[in-house]
Structure 1
Amino acid sequence: MSTTSRPIAASPERVWEVLADGWLYPLFVVGATRMRGVDDTWPAVGSRLHHSVGVWPALIDDTTEVLEVEEGRRILLLARAWPAGQAHVEISLEPDGKSTVVTMVEQVTGGPSALIPKPIQDPQLHLRNIETLRRLAFVVEGRTR
């Protein structure tokens, strides 16, 4: 399991606005190449993002599903990228003065990626999620100016 946090210079409401707009995920999620569709009920439990991962022409079409949600505070996703695998990704928001600390916890839950030993897997997830949160900060902070 990999845990990564970063402060974003915006309120939790502003951060949540970006997370609640499924069409924006390829702007900040490392590896997400394009959106093919977003369920009308996103980010309600059971709703899905229909995305592609990878680099053209080797794209994989898959989905990410909301497993749990606390509006404005936390979302737990089941992110799929088969045949590589799937992971639980929890994103939580904690107010901190005029900023929000965003924390991502990611754990591979299935597929061949789950066979990679945790001491190798976790640092790779952490590095990817550092960049994901960096991109999320660009999107959120750019929208609040």
Structure 2
Amino acid sequence: MTEVSMRMPATAAQVFAVLADGWSYGHWVVGSTHIRDGGPTWPQVGATIAHSIGAWPLMVQDSTAVIAADPPHMLELRARAWPFGQARIRLEINEIDAATVEVRMLETVSHGPGRLLPGALQAVLLKPRNSESLARLRDLVTSGYRTIGD
């Protein structure tokens, strides 16, 4: 399992509002280049978003599904990018004080060729990507990104 965390000047509800907008994933998830369907029931358990990963013309079309949700504190996802693999991603939002949260992102490669890589090598590949994803999420949250329903 690879873990990264980042403090953000926001409330748990503000962070979860961005996570709850399936269309936002193309803005903060590193590697996600196009959201084809934001999932009208996202982030309910079982909901999916359709996305593309990679750079044209070498894009992979796949999906991410909600495994578990506890708004506004936790969202767990199954992200697919076949033929490369599949991962479980858990986002935990912990309140530090009234205006600060810490977001933890835990990722485990669960299926596919990436699962065969040693854990230390997975961490070398995933930590920088996931740290950048959290930085992008923080930027969306703090910039006043308008979520669906705003």
Q: Relative to total residues, which structure has the larger strand share, 1 or 2? A: 1
Distance 1:86 1:57 in 2: 21
* Identical residues among aligned pairs (%): 38
TM-score normalised per structure 1 = 0.97
Per the alignment, residue 82 of structure 2 pairs with 82
What CA distance in whole angstroms lies between the structure 2 residues aligned with 1:123 and 1:129? 11
Give, in whole Å, the separation in 1 of the partners of 2:49 and 2:91: 16
Gap regions ≥5 residues in structure 1:
none
Q: Give the aligned partner of residue 137 of structure 1.
A: 138
Q: Deviations over 1:70-129 (max 9, x none)?
A: 011101100000000000000010011111100000000000111111111112111111
Extract structure 1 runs of 4+ deviating beyond 4 A.
none
Task: Give the unaligned 5+ runs of structure 2.
Answer: 146-150
Report matched runs for 1:1-145 at 5 Å: 1-97=1-97, 98-143=99-144
Aligned-residue Cα RMSD (Å) equals: 0.9
User: Is contact 1:2-1:123 (8 Å) kept?
Assistant: no
Letter in 2 for 1:57: P
Aligned length in residues:
144
- Counterpart secondary structure, 2:114: helix
